[in-house]
Amino acid sequence: MWFLPIFILFSFNVFSVTVDDNCATIDHLRTDSKMGRFWKTPRNQDGMGWCYAFPAADLVSEVINAPASAAYMSYKYNETAKWDFSWIWRYTGVPESALEIEEGGFTRDAVKNIQNAGACLESALPSESQHTIYAHSALKQAMQDLIELRKIIENKKLKRREFIDCVECRKKIQSQAGLQNFFPNLKAEELYDVIQANSASSINSMIHSLSEKFCMASRKPFPSHRKVQIHRRGLNSDDTTFALIDRLLKQKKPVAFSTPLALIDNTRPGQHAMTIIARQKRGGQCKYLVRNSWGRGCSYYPVKEVFDDCVADQGAVWVTKERLNLFMEDVTYVD
């Protein structure tokens, strides 16, 4: 009869969520004088499974009061990943014919990984392709370019000056289809130094080294008094969960959460991570504004109640408290 306590707990949770306050509007983030535009700007992870990095960047952006790079959150996360299974996003691009991106991660760990090193700004290391909407393809091309440039240096035994003057190399560096999508204004001498320092390393190491170089001048410290926390829902009542979310929103703090994809797309399996940034009563229902990373538009949301209250130009959707209660697994925040 092991399932009985779970059933009782689940039943309690379903009913407890109906008891709430008057759901007064909380929308401090989007109306903030400095960061309001950031919270209303859609993000697009394209086909890459680094959804966890975008809520992590949201949490960090509030802490440093500036847009943080989701790409850096992912690169830094994978630098310290120790275990080896398909939920880790690491580059295994050797040999060239076997370029593969293994993906996934955890929002809390991504935030914790930059607490000592500091955050990188989005302006220094863009999280989306600059010249094409297909970030996944662009990143694979960037990886391929790095492999080929390293091979050119090795085969031709190029010195730093020779690499800088290499026409073939310069074309690859300046190609808008690859490296410059993610590393704008990349200089040949910088790339040469990174490749030489990682001559026997993985592509992941080179990507990480490049990200560190690009972020160096713009790095923002993570205040030591701010701590990343996780609220697991297993034995916590829904009143406790939503009281926590409401308190954080009132303090102008975003709330990251993990959920099955069925919350917003009931046609696909898998897990997803997003950010809650506002609360409002809409059509007689208490709803929370969920900031996603699927770009503009509403066509990605086959769930009718989600599609019907989608904020297309902001890449966000209003989700009922009841639906969040049904699917939300844990809450991550910085207090």
Q: Average pLDDT, stretch 255-270? A: 95
Q: What is the mean pLDDT of the chain?
A: 82
Q: Quickly count: other Cβ atoms within 10 Å of residue 221's Cβ.
A: 12
**Comparison of pLDDT for 276 and 148, the residue scoring more:** 276
Q: Taking 90 as the threshold, does the pLDDT of residue 119 lie above it?
A: yes
Q: Which residue has the tokens 């699917």?
A: 327
With bands split at pLDDT 50, 70 and 90, how would you rate the model's confidence at 89?
A: very low
pTM, entire model: 0.82
Q: Taking 80 as the threshold, does the pLDDT of residue 180 lie above it?
A: no
Per-residue pLDDT at 161? 95
- Domains of the chain: which residue ranges? 3-31+227-334, 67-218
Q: Taking 70 as the threshold, does the pLDDT of residue 254 lie above it?
A: yes
CATH code linked to domain 3-31+227-334: 3.90.70
Look at the chain and count its residues: 335
Q: Average pLDDT, stretch 263-286? A: 95
Q: Which burial class, exposed, middle or buried, applies to 265 when counting CB atoms under 10 A from its CB (0-12, 13-18, 19+)?
A: middle
Q: Taking 60 as the threshold, does the pLDDT of residue 124 lie above it?
A: yes
With bands split at pLDDT 50, 70 and 90, how would you rate the model's confidence at 86?
A: very low
E-state strands within 154-303: 228-232, 255-260, 271-282, 285-291
